[in-house]
Amino acid sequence: AQTVTQSQPEMSVQEAETVTLSCTYDTSENNYYLFWYKQPPSRQMILVIRQEAYKQQNATENRFSVNFQKAAKSFSLKISDSQLGDTAMYFCAFMKLYNNDMRFGAGTRLTVKP
C-alpha cells in the first residue's frame, strides 16, 4: 500500500521569505505521480504542482517548486517570496500511473505572517 507522510503539522513564514514543506512517501512502484494541493480557508482544493516520477527535472510553477528525490522517496515543496494568500493547508499526494486512487498526506498548515 502507498502511504504519504507529512511530518510538519504546522509551519509559519514571514511574508516575502521562503519556506519548504516536507513530504515522504512509500511505494514499490516505479511510475507514479506526485502532487501538492493547497486548501485555503475557502476549503476548496487547488492543484499547486505536479511531478511525474519518470521525469528527473523538478517541476516549477512560478513561485512554487519541488525537490523530487526519487531514491529517497522525498517530495518537498518550496514556496518563494511567500504571500499572505499562500496561507492554507498544503497536502502532498501520490498516485500510481493509470490508477485513479490518489492518496493524500495529513497536511501541513502554513501561515504566512505580515
Partner 1 sequence: DSGVTQTPKHLITATGQRVTLRCSPRSGDLSVYWYQQSLDQGLQFLIQYYNGEERAKGNILERFSAQQFPDLHSELNLSSLELGDSALYFCASSSGGVNTGELFFGEGSRLTVL
Q: Which of 28, 42, 56, 57 binds partner 1 (CB under 8 A)?
A: 42
Applying the rule CB under 8 A, the residues between 48 and 87 that interact with partner 1 are 50
Residue number, 19 or 37, with CB nearest to partner 1: 37
Q: Which of 44, 60, 62, 69 binds partner 1 (CB under 8 A)?
A: 44
Q: Which of 19, 21, 35, 79 binds partner 1 (CB under 8 A)?
A: 35
Dihedrals phi, psi of 85, to nearest 5 degrees: -70, -5
**Residue 58 and residue 51: Cα distance in Å, rounded?**
7
User: CB of 73 within 8 A of CB of 56?
Assistant: no
Q: Which of 45, 91, 104, 57 is nearest to 66 (CA)?
A: 57
State the DSSP string of 17-74: --EEE--EEE-S-SSEEEEEEEE-TT---EEEEEEETT--SPPEETTEEEEEETTTTE
Residue 41 touching partner 1 (CB under 8 A): no
Q: Which of 11, 64, 104, 111 binds partner 1 (CB under 8 A)?
A: 104
Among 21-29, 56-64, 70-78, 90-98, the segment contacting partner 1 (CB under 8 A): 90-98
Report the interface residues with partner 1, using CB under 8 A: 4, 33, 35, 42-47, 50, 91, 93, 95, 98-107
